Amino acid sequence: MPFAELNCQQLVELVSDYLEGALGPADVARFEGHIAACEGCREYLAQMRLTIQALGRLPEESIPPAAREELLTAFRTWRKS
């Protein structure tokens, strides 16, 4: 039985897990299948990789709680607007 395809919103929600190697094989296949067919998401993934490379890893403890919540809200809702 083939796996359901991801839409762009779902891909955005999974990109961090993908980059961290935290997705299972079925989700990796769905993610990579979408990337292969969607230029916009390929570009988004490339931008995320460049951002991570440029900024390195920011320890969560160094982010004030209010700023952390604001960032999380922004990331969760950016495609909904």
Per-residue pLDDT tens over the stretch 8-17: 999 998 998 9
Q: What is the 3-state secondary structure (H, E, C) of 13-38?
A: HHHHHHHCCCCCHHHHHHHHHHHHHC
CA end-to-end span of the chain: 34
- Quote the pTM value: 0.65
* Mean residue pLDDT across the chain: 85
The number of residues in the chain equals 81
- Cβ–Cβ under 8 Å, residues 11 and 35: yes
26-50 pLDDT, tens digit each: 999 999 999 999 999 999 999 999 8
Domain borders along the chain are: 8-77
C-alpha–C-alpha distance, residues 78 and 20, integer Å: 21
Secondary structure of residue 3 in the 3-state scheme: coil
C-alpha–C-alpha distance, residues 19 and 13, integer Å: 12
58-78 pLDDT, tens digit each: 677 777 889 888 888 887 776
